[in-house]
Amino acid sequence: MEYSPSPEEIVAASMEAAVPERRDEIRALWRQYHPKVIVAKDAKRVTLNATKDRIKFDTKTMEVFWLIGFSGWRAIECYSPHVIGSAASGQTVKRIIKGDEGLAEIERAYKERRAAAQGLIDAAGPATAPWPPDLPRPNSSRDAACDPQYKAAFDLTWLAVAFTLFHEFRHVILDRDKQRPQDLREEELACDVWAREFMTAKLAAYAEDHGHDHHEVLRKRSMGFALAVLILHEITPVWDHGGNNAYFSVQTRMQTILENTPLPDNDHFWVFAASLLIGIFRQRGQPISAPATDPQSLARHLLAEL
């Protein structure tokens, strides 16, 4: 009889795969708190939450994350030339986009995929929402295609999903240890910070042990966080973007996750983050008033204006 791993084993293994240098710590924490993982019945909107005893999500939510993650990767194709061009030419992104006659066709596919993600969020289940035929399902193998772009998108989406799992696991820890802040918004922000720090605190040792460049490992994980930020934006109802009694504004949470990333001003990470943010502005129809500047400053300006 073929062995089928439990939801708990799948979640724990996903966290370990994302942060292999902390595998022993993850296993120790999982044994100590050992939350039950409940795969709920699919429903409208997104199901993802945690208490001291369990982490709960539905299959549809994982498909939403996957669809947004793979779609978000295409932001590089759409907008990175404008981010890089602005820094090099001294022209604003707004002006470069205005003069880009080929953008509309490339951008159409990106917007259609973002729209498909929103359709899935609003659907009662995956069966009632169309899935883009050229995008893989969450259960697809990383080696399903030889295309390096596919593998890059796969890895970053996986990291984004892992970030959300670490976030929810932190809720479990805080609740079990009776350390939850009275302000629910502070708890959400604290879980964001903990997830990011846990996934980066020991990556230098991992990079050295495996012969990787430290900045390359940090860049890759940070790009996964940027995709997690896009997912956060997309799954939050528009009426809650400004925050409520349980969450700070989406802008505040995005700034908390991204702004303190210790990478150079022109690093590919900042190009990616700025491209994702431009995509949000374009999807909203919101004007981009950013000055001509380096990718890091551009991303920070866009975050402030979001």
Q: Is residue 29 part of a domain?
A: no
57-112 pLDDT tens trace: 999 999 999 999 988 988 999 999 999 999 999 999 999 999 999 999 999 988 88
98-151 pLDDT tens trace: 999 999 999 998 888 888 888 999 988 777 778 888 777 777 777 766 678 888
Q: Is residue 105 part of a domain?
A: yes
- Beta strands 36-40 and 54-58 are parallel
Q: Is residue 130 part of a domain?
A: yes
Q: Is residue 285 part of a domain?
A: yes
- Provide the pLDDT for residue 76: 92
At residue 96, what are phi and psi to the nearest 5 degrees?
A: -65, -40
213-231 pLDDT tens trace: 999 999 999 999 999 999 9
Q: Is residue 155 part of a domain?
A: yes
pTM above 0.75, yes or no: yes
Q: Is residue 192 part of a domain?
A: yes
If one counts the domains in the chain, the total is 1
- Provide the pLDDT for residue 1: 57
Q: Answer whether residue 54 shows pLDDT above 60.
A: yes
Which residue range is the domain that position 211 belongs to?
Answer: 63-305
Q: Is residue 234 part of a domain?
A: yes
Structure tokens at 38: 């409940």
Q: Is residue 80 part of a domain?
A: yes
- Provide the pLDDT for residue 109: 87
